[in-house]
A and B are shown apart, each in its own frame.
Chain A
């Protein structure tokens, strides 16, 4: 059987829209069937928002692209109904080691506590990730959810006015025109839509080249992230090793700036580099070779009227930290529920401005972390190099220096602490990690998990306290859920949500970010927080 990325998974089929007398109007069009576009389409379809997904290709992406999918991404995928197949196929890891020269100087555990359904990370080739999401999309179609995907539909132009976006789309049968109430541009780092609209994309270019090699081999390295500073096999540079499914190992070798990319990509030059790293006797076959450089940059705004940019089209980071695809998935997570409320008329259109604010804040956090990592990995001056090596030398013997070692600050979701969607934090001494703006932290509840019990609506969560029915009165759908800390033998629920309190009431957004919290039920306070969380109407 052909590899998954060689299969035509959503072949071009002529759509009735191509024969319509006037452009057919869709509530939401998503452009780009990568991880972010697929996530956005699944989320909207699950909320019964009709969504049309366009891509200029008809298959999943090829090559070695995103590989590390973070806990938060898996939690979002659980909500979309496809977390388990990802975890089943992926390689689970929580730990990493850092080497300097020939010495191990530091090791870390990204999920040192129990009581979480999902691990810190799985490694999975991006084509498998996309294939799982595509399969989920087919399931939703079979259930009758309003989602379509059109292959070999390439967007070649975008025009817009106040309440409508118009797209010209090129197909094997020629061009046609579509109208959308909302357009979500998930068309990647080189976003054609961004170009059509003449929008900026500013940031910092890092002058460095990295060789990616995916090799297939039998090896007994543990399933951990291994990072080398200045190793004997790549002097003066860095290296990174990750295990992927199917016996494939991803190797990133830093090459420096002044290289001939074409020469470095040749197999006769790549093989000796890999043998120096893996040992002369190592038996491996090359699956993929490429060379990348990167930039840290973002658009000034992610929302332009009714065009929303998500994922790489809106922001780019260095790969150290796995903050690219993971942050893009969080963009989709943030956007879908807001768009649903706006399209339903239960929230004002201005709610989408909070998508812009919250995700720009997250992008800045990711760019900051990624830039700092890159400056540590590739010092930009002699003295910066001296301090970097001093940190690594000290880290082996002295614990204080270990937090300074920066081989990538691995993706964690942003806490939207200053968001105007947040209500009050009225729980005395409430735990920091579950304050308003933070993504809800998982914890065991009975035989299941807290996050899986939250569902897709806004949730009013009572912990060790009963709550009255919220249906009726408010126009917004609010699910009421009550749980007991006695159902969690680990005590994690108490530690993560109550602190020293005996009970608490949490208001949680559909993207599982916490909106507000109180010690007791207060109808008026909850209404005010609900209004704030949904953009000030209702």
Chain B
């Protein structure tokens, strides 16, 4: 089984981050929330594996303030 990758894995970290913020440019908080939801669903489908997704949900829930 593959595990959730938590080591650096992005081919262009700064570039991705910039694109992520740019995608939200000009959106209201509601529109941004909706975009994030669509993005999560698209990426979740790409990952596919149930255990990896549940692990990601757990780690996202455990971190942050």
Chain A positions 129-186 with a Cβ under 8 Å from a chain B Cβ? none
Alpha-carbon separation in the docked complex, A386 to B38 (Å): 9
Whether A386 lies near B33 (C-beta < 8 A) is yes
Within 8 A of A (CB), among B4-51: 33-34, 37-38, 40-42, 45
Q: Could you tell me if A401 and B33 are in contact, using CB atoms closer than 8 angstroms?
A: no
Which residues 382-437 in A have Cβ within 8 Å of B in the complex? 383, 386-387, 389-391, 393-394, 398, 400-401, 404
Tell me, in angstroms, the Cα distance from A390 to B45 when the chains sit together.
Answer: 13
Residue numbers in B under 8 Å from A398 (CB-CB): 42
Considering only CB atoms, which chain A residue lies closest to B37 in the complex?
A390
Residues on B with beta carbons closer than 8 Å to the beta carbon of A401: 41, 45
Q: What is the 8 Å Cβ interface bit string for chain A, positions 354-391, against chain B (1 contact, 0 not)? A: 00000000000000000000000000000100110111
Count residues of B near A (Cβ-Cβ below 8 Å). 8
A382 nearest in chain B by CB position: B33
Inter-chain contact B45/A387, CB cutoff 8 Å: no
Q: Which residues of A have CB within 8 Å of B33? A: 383, 386
Q: Interface residue count for A (Cβ, 8 Å)?
A: 12
When A and B form their complex, what is the total count of cross-chain residue pairs whose Cβ atoms lie within 8 Å? 27
A404 (CB) vs chain B CBs: closest residue:
B41
Main SS at interface, chain B: helix
Contact A386 B37 (CB under 8 A): yes
**Complex Cα distance A401/B33, Å?**
18
Please measure, in the bound complex, the distance between the C-alpha atom of A400 and the C-alpha atom of B48, giving whole angstroms.
10
- Whether A386 contacts B41 by the Cβ 8 Å rule is no
Which of B34, B41, B45 neighbours the largest number of chain A CB atoms within 10 Å of its CB? Answer: B41
Q: Is the Cβ of B45 less than 8 Å from the Cβ of A393?
A: no
A387 cross-chain contacts in B, Cβ below 8 A: 37, 40-41
Q: Inside 8 A of A391's CB, which chain B residues have their CB?
A: 41
Chain A residue at smallest Cβ distance from B33: A386
B38: chain A residues within 8 A (beta carbon): 390, 393-394
CB distance from B38 to the nearest CB of A (A): 5
CB <8 Å contact, B42 and A394 = yes
A390 to chain B, nearest CB (A): 4
How far apart are the CA atoms of A398 and B44 in the complex, in Å?
13
> Which residue in chain B gives the minimum CB-CB distance to A388?
B37
A400 CB contacts on chain B under 8 angstroms: 42, 45
Q: For B37, list chain A residues within 8 Å (CB).
A: 383, 386-387, 389-390
Find chain A residues with CB under 8 A from B34 CB: 386, 389-390, 393
Bound state CA distance, A398 and B39, in angstroms?
13
Q: How far is the CA of A404 from the CA of B41 in the complex (A)?
A: 10
Give Cα A390 to B34, complex, Å: 6
Q: Most chain-B CB neighbours within 10 Å: which of A386, A390, A393, A398? A: A390
User: Which residues from chain A contact B42 at a C-beta distance below 8 Å?
Assistant: 394, 398, 400
> What is the CB-to-nearest-CB distance from A384 to chain B, in angstroms, rounded to a whole number?
10
Contacts of A383 in B (CB 8 A): 33, 37
Residues in B neighbouring A404, C-beta threshold 8 A: 41
Q: Which residues of B contact A (CB under 8 A)?
A: 33-34, 37-38, 40-42, 45
> Could you list 17 examples of A-B contacts with CB < 8 Å?
A383-B33, A383-B37, A386-B34, A386-B37, A387-B37, A387-B41, A389-B37, A390-B34, A390-B37, A390-B41, A391-B41, A393-B38, A394-B38, A400-B42, A400-B45, A401-B41, A401-B45
